Structure 1
Amino acid sequence: MRAKLRSSWFVLVLVLVTVLSASLPIFAAEIIILHTNDVHSRVESHIPQGAEGEQGGRVRAATLIEEIRDMYGREKILLLDAGDAIHGMNIDNLFGGLPSIEIMNAMGYDAFTLGNHEFNYGQEVLAERILDAKFPTLAANVMREDGSLFAGYSALVKEVNGVKVGIIGLVAEETPIVTHPKNVEGLKFLDPIDIAKRTAQVIRPDVDILIALSHLGLSKDVELAEAVPEFDVIVGGHSHTVLDVPREVNGVLIAQAHEYANNLGFLYLEVEGKEILAHEGFLIPVTADVEKHGGVQSIIDDWNQQLQARLNHVIGTSNIAWDGERASVRTQETNLGNLVADVIRDAVDSDIAVTNGGGIRASIHAGDIRVADVYNTLPFDNTLVVVEMMGMDILEALEHSVRLLPEQNGAFLQVSGITFEVDPGALPGGRVINVKVGENRLATGGYYTVATNDFIAAGGDGYDMFMNATLVAETGIMLRDVMVDYIAQQGNAEAPEGGRIVIDK
């Protein structure tokens, strides 16, 4: 198994062991920080678009971690994760993130901070995951209304090879607008830099090295380094940044390892007293040349079996067939398109909801509805976004939707909360008439909340007008998961009211 690791990166790590250890001052100690961030449930390897082979995944990163522990000695290794770890793929999404927590337990993580996407499960489930973890979850700036810490810990002091290491966890202050508001109701996300200053002043005298475990993003980490020089190291996440070597700002080392466990961050520190005498940092690519870790793979296999059973689970029934055929959803409203749009609007309580017909990829037959049926219909990893738009921009979006009629067009919108007529004989840009939001005519100078998927919100399918909208909430919630929950709650899926898009003959 170990033969495949004898790459240039393995040789570099081996050289560091030999050279740096040989030059170690008599009273100095060495510690190695290994770090990951923004793994987003990639417990298995994946093939990125345009790549030829597999890369990333905790299953391969675990092998590297084990090798480095064997090489240096387990007592010298500190393993950290900077958040957005347990949400993103079906294996986690359908089980509340528990599979990733079990895998991180097996890998022996020492500490973890919360990313914004951890809150996608809601507070109750996230609190259970924090208890399931065999490592502390650190979040110094997230508090309940009564002033208690949501995660239970703001910081950790741990001895690593005789060095007292302090670690402070910091969560993105904008989390309330990048998850569903209900998920963070009653929580306060305080200014991370202010909290870091106050916490560092308390902890710094009692430790040799102070680390910020940050899910703030690189630009905020730079601000943090400038504002809180008590830190020696910031292990970051959130911005998915590739820092091939640590960036030094105001004497503070900032490290980040991109995403999806595509790299394992490696930071060697030579410490004497309360001073870092020397350091060396880089990213170790997690490629297909790295063997999969047998123990981690076994955990994944067990969860994948449960996943297949979950996908076959019947969540509801229907007496009607739901039309998701390509020729239908790209040229006209359909009962399935209406249902998807209604589900989006219901989930976030917006005035209007729209979703592109090209994102609906299959029909659902009458009879039992399984989780897999919804996933086949909505196969993309789209999440719900809410924006505020002017009526004139909404009208422009509707015109863009119908501009190619009668041709099929993936940008054709399925809608909820809004009705309109289309004159296909008119010139593009002047086809949409009689637009109503609810019972009232669309006010071109008015403002409306519009829910959609993240693809459209980012200007996908040519919807540039959405990029001018004001962001209300970037929920991070998967559309297909909301659809599953909705059908499960209804039990019997019934056709929603039609007549939303009337195409004149």
Structure 2
Amino acid sequence: MNYNSLKLLILLLLFTSCKQERRVAVEIRGERIPVTNEIAEDTSIANYIKPFAHHINSTLDSVVAYNPNYLNKSDGELNTAIGNFMADVVMEQANPVFKSRTGKDIDLVILNHGGIRSTIEEGPLTARTAYTIMPFENEIVVAELTGTKVKEMLSYLESNRTAHPVSGIKIEMDRDYNITNATINGQPIEENRTYFVATSDYLQQGGDNMQFLKEPVNLYIVDYKLRNAYIDYFNKIDTLKTARDDRYIRSN
């Protein structure tokens, strides 16, 4: 048998063997491996990340301000001290950025009650505090809405009956949650003009069923995370001052 014939024979045998060794899985097994303290720590990895972890923790836990009162999102029917704080900070921190780029002012802020992810304990305020109340990567955006869309927002609030944080707007409801009066910056809402509404990118995309935010006249990206706005605010104050007020109320 010459070399070429031998090579052909080997190739045929390989091809035949591959065909014959074709296998089909008949059973798949899974096993849950719990991660507990019983698993030994890899000291080389632990030692490598230790200085980074120390730096991050010291940064997050550095005290920058003080909160004199315990804050939670259940202390009011339609507005809460913590919600008012969160909406007011968005207004205060984002408006200078927005105005420097557009020459316009933010008219109002709306956030969602469910987006308040934690309480704020009485005592020191740190960057970690901001991470607890806003653990997500949501960013501030400004949606330019028609007056008609703003009135859709009011209809949403009538039916939702929840303490969604707002700033720049004053809303009064009767006992049956019908809105009897609503003003922006002290003025009646006009259907034939537009308003600049600051919110989160999540809500602007229809989160929490806020459909009135989805198709704005214009959408402005502020490049400012909600969490960073709170951290920056903590860094510039000494003591946190916030309270329930009459911005969003229901008559008895």
TM-score w.r.t. the length of structure 1 is 0.37
Question: Structure 1: how far apart are the matches of 2:49 and 2:224?
Answer: 23
Partner of 1:475: 222
Partner of 1:305: 54
Partner of 1:460: 207
Q: 2:220 is matched by which residue type in structure 1? A: A
Greater Rg, structure 1 or structure 2? 2
Task: Map residues 492-503 of structure 1 onto 2, 5 A cutoff.
Answer: 492-495=239-242, 498-503=245-250
Question: Structure 2: how far apart are the matches of 1:497 and 1:332?
Answer: 9
Q: 1:463 is matched by which residue type in structure 2? A: M
Question: Structure 2: how far apart are the matches of 1:298 and 1:354?
Answer: 45
Q: Choose which of 161, 169, 190 in structure 2 pairs with 1:418.
A: 169
**Structure with the higher fraction of residues in strand conformation:** 1
The 8 Å contact of residues 318 and 367 in structure 1, kept in 2 or not, is answered as yes
CA-based RMSD = 2.6
Deviation at 1:308, TM superposition (A): 1.4
Using a 3 Å threshold, how does the CA distance of structure 1 residues 312 and 502 change in structure 2: closer, same or farther? same
Deviation at 1:319, TM superposition (A): 2.2
Deviation at 1:424, TM superposition (A): 4.7
Question: Structure 1: how far apart are the matches of 2:197 and 2:212?
Answer: 12
**Structure with the higher fraction of residues in helix conformation:** 2
Where structure 1 has 5 or more consecutive residues not aligned to the other structure, the ranges are 1-51, 53-293
1:442 aligns with 2:189: yes
Q: Choose which of 209, 232, 235 in structure 2 pairs with 1:485.
A: 232
The 8 Å contact of residues 359 and 380 in structure 1, kept in 2 or not, is answered as no
Task: Map residues 68-217 of structure 1 onto 2, 5 A cutoff.
Answer: none
SS in 2 for 1:413: coil
Using a 3 Å threshold, how does the CA distance of structure 1 residues 496 and 447 change in structure 2: closer, same or farther? farther
Overall identity of the aligned pairs, in %: 23
Q: Choose which of 318, 322, 328 in structure 1 pairs with 2:71.
A: 322
Q: How many residues align structurally? A: 202
Task: Map residues 232-271 of structure 1 onto 2, 5 A cutoff.
Answer: none
Partner of 2:117: 361
Partner of 2:130: 374
Using a 3 Å threshold, how does the CA distance of structure 1 residues 313 and 300 change in structure 2: closer, same or farther? same
Using a 3 Å threshold, how does the CA distance of structure 1 residues 299 and 448 change in structure 2: closer, same or farther? farther
The 8 Å contact of residues 392 and 444 in structure 1, kept in 2 or not, is answered as yes
Deviation at 1:467, TM superposition (A): 0.9
The 8 Å contact of residues 145 and 196 in structure 2, kept in 1 or not, is answered as yes
1:346 aligns with 2:92: yes
Partner of 1:383: 139
Q: 1:319 is matched by which residue type in structure 2? A: P
Task: Map residues 34-53 of structure 1 onto 2, 5 A cutoff.
Answer: none
Partner of 1:336: 82
Deviation at 1:496, TM superposition (A): 5.5
Deviation at 1:348, TM superposition (A): 2.1
Question: Structure 2: how far apart are the matches of 1:453 and 1:401?
Answer: 17
SS in 2 for 1:305: helix
Deviations 1:472-496 (A, max 9, x none): 4222322111101102101211126
Deviation at 1:380, TM superposition (A): 2.0
Question: Structure 1: how far apart are the matches of 2:108 and 2:58?
Answer: 35
Deviation at 1:298, TM superposition (A): 6.8
The 8 Å contact of residues 126 and 234 in structure 2, kept in 1 or not, is answered as no
Question: Structure 1: how far apart are the matches of 2:61 and 2:167?
Answer: 29
Question: Structure 2: how far apart are the matches of 1:447 and 1:423?
Answer: 27
Deviation at 1:299, TM superposition (A): 6.2
Partner of 2:15: none
1:433 aligns with 2:184: no
SS in 1 for 2:233: helix
Partner of 1:85: none
Q: Which has the higher contact order (CA 8 A, sep 6+)?
A: 2
Deviations 1:237-288 (A, max 9, x none): xxxxxxxxxxxxxxxxxxxxxxxxxxxxxxxxxxxxxxxxxxxxxxxxxxxx
Deviations 1:97-118 (A, max 9, x none): xxxxxxxxxxxxxxxxxxxxxx
Question: Structure 2: how far apart are the matches of 1:397 and 1:360?
Answer: 20
The 8 Å contact of residues 79 and 244 in structure 2, kept in 1 or not, is answered as no
Where structure 2 has 5 or more consecutive residues not aligned to the other structure, the ranges are 1-31, 33-43, 96-105
Deviations 1:331-350 (A, max 9, x none): 42111111110111112221
Question: Structure 1: how far apart are the matches of 2:243 and 2:143?
Answer: 24
Partner of 2:151: 395
Q: 1:354 is matched by which residue type in structure 2? A: I
